[in-house]
Amino acid sequence: MQNLLRFLLRYHFTLLFVLLEVLAFLLILQNNNYQNTRFVEFTRNLEGSFYQKTMKVEQYLNLREKNRQLAEENEELRNYIAAHLQTGEDTFRRQVDTTYDQQYSYLATRVINNSVNKQHNYITLDKGRYDGVKPEMGVVSGQGIVGVVRGVSEHFSTAISLLNSELRVSAKLAGSGYYGPLQWNGGDYRYAKLGDIPLHASVHEGDTVMTSGYSAIFPEGVLIGFVEGYEEKGGRFYEVDVKLSTDFKRLSHVYVVKNLLKEEQDSLESKIPAND
């Protein structure tokens, strides 16, 4: 209390001056419409600016939740398309029975660990056996192909990344339809090599490279990348440089692809004699 009294006695002239200034300012606003209007406009602008900045902070803090919601919506959309629409030669065919002719379903997952600077890169996902994830399921993103599930626990799974020199994916050129094995060579994480393209095939820079569908893991037509160059190898084939469409340094939400007919296809193909 003594400190407060001492402060008031010491600065009473300054405090009186500030009080009179405030009173004068309020009288001006009260008796002058122009000044009052400008002050109200100023305070509204200040308030609006404050709320705008606050909203931006809230939106930034909610990005993870928004991304999760978008991933779930995309999962529903992908499953709806897989269940209701099937490509024919020129048109889409709508299915009344949602299980009829559906071959693939999609599960939204989040990447919780990832590497791009090793020879054998892996990705860890936050969904596992409890969610229906099994080994040999494909993994894709909104940008294109990502990898193949290798190991599964109750609540997590690991996928061998496309940036793994052990993974080979059957890919084709969208322009000509010729296909071959696509593999990362351990160099730049943005590029892979597409091999065994015959010399008589038409290859053009910028051509789209996508999955061929010649496996039970990925659907046909999943984007892989774009042709950036090519050269002749061994006098019989082209080796094509492919710039990958997926940015593996920015992976966040991906989708596990389940082939509903994989077991049937694998069972049939296992009966083919080895020497045929």
In this predicted model, what pLDDT tens digit does every residue of 97-116 receive, in sequence order? 444 467 889 998 989 999 99
Condensed to tens digits (0 to 9), the pLDDT of residues 30-74 reads 677 666 666 555 564 554 455 446 545 655 566 666 676 677 667
Residues 157 and 42 in one domain: no
Residues 119 and 227 in one domain: yes
22 is in which domain, residue-wise? 2-61
| pTM metric for this prediction | 0.66
Residues 140 and 18 in one domain: no
pLDDT mean across residues, the chain: 80
The CATH code of the domain that includes 129 is 2.40.10.340
Q: Residue 180 falls within a domain, yes or no? A: yes
Q: Residue 73 falls within a domain, yes or no? A: no
Tokens found for residue 60? 């930034």
CA distance 73 to 65: 12
Condensed to tens digits (0 to 9), the pLDDT of residues 256-276 reads 999 988 778 777 877 787 665
Q: Residue 204 falls within a domain, yes or no? A: yes
CA distance 82 to 135: 21
Would you place residue 121 in the very low, low, confident or very high pLDDT band (cuts 50, 70, 90)? Answer: very high
Task: State the total domains in the chain.
Answer: 2
Residues 49 and 113 in one domain: no
Residues 10 and 114 in one domain: no
Q: Residue 82 falls within a domain, yes or no? A: no
Would you place residue 14 in the very low, low, confident or very high pLDDT band (cuts 50, 70, 90)? Answer: confident
Residues 35 and 111 in one domain: no
**177 in helix, strand or coil?**
coil
Contact 181, 168 (CB under 8 A): yes
